[in-house]
């Protein structure tokens, strides 16, 4: 395509766009436009409201569950775990005591 043709095409394109503008005037608005718009607005508001309520319920439930778990972990229970209260050294000593009971008593030779 040479420059003259391109210039012609540009002019034709401009004219076609103008013709398109004239061929597509602003449409007439139907009588149901406003009622339908408000119906959609109210529907969206309702769904936003329910979503918000559901989110609040979920947050409340999560908070209650967290508090319950914290309380469960904090309150001391009747049967205490050996692993939870003993230090490493105490556990090691207890292990050695058990080992020592299995060994024979040393015999002292009387000279």
Binding residues for another protein (CB under 8 A): 1, 6, 9-10, 12-27, 29-30, 33-34, 36-37, 40-41, 44
CB 19, min distance to another protein, A: 4
The residue whose two tokens read 């009747």 is 78
Three-point CA angle 36, 41, 42, nearest 5°: 100
CB 33, min distance to another protein, A: 6
Confirm if 86 and 94 have CB atoms less than 8 A apart: yes
24 versus 73: smaller Cβ distance to another protein = 24
41 versus 64: smaller Cβ distance to another protein = 41
27 versus 106: smaller Cβ distance to another protein = 27
Given phi > 0 = left and psi -120 to 50 = alpha, else beta, which region is 27?
A: beta
């Amino acid at each position: 395509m040479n420059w003259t043709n391109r210039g012609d095409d540009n002019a034709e394109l401009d004219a076609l766009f103008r013709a398109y503008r004239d061929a597509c005037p602003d449409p007439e608005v139907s009588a149901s436009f406003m009622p339908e718009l408000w119906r959609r607005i109210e529907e969206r508001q309702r769904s936003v409201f329910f979503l918000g309520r559901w989110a609040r319920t979920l947050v409340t439930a999560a908070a209650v569950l967290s508090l319950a778990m914290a309380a469960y972990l904090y309150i001391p229970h009747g049967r205490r775990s050996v692993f939870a209260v003993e230090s490493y050294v105490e556990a090691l000593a207890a292990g050695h005591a058990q080992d020592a009971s299995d060994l024979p008593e040393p015999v002292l030779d009387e000279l």
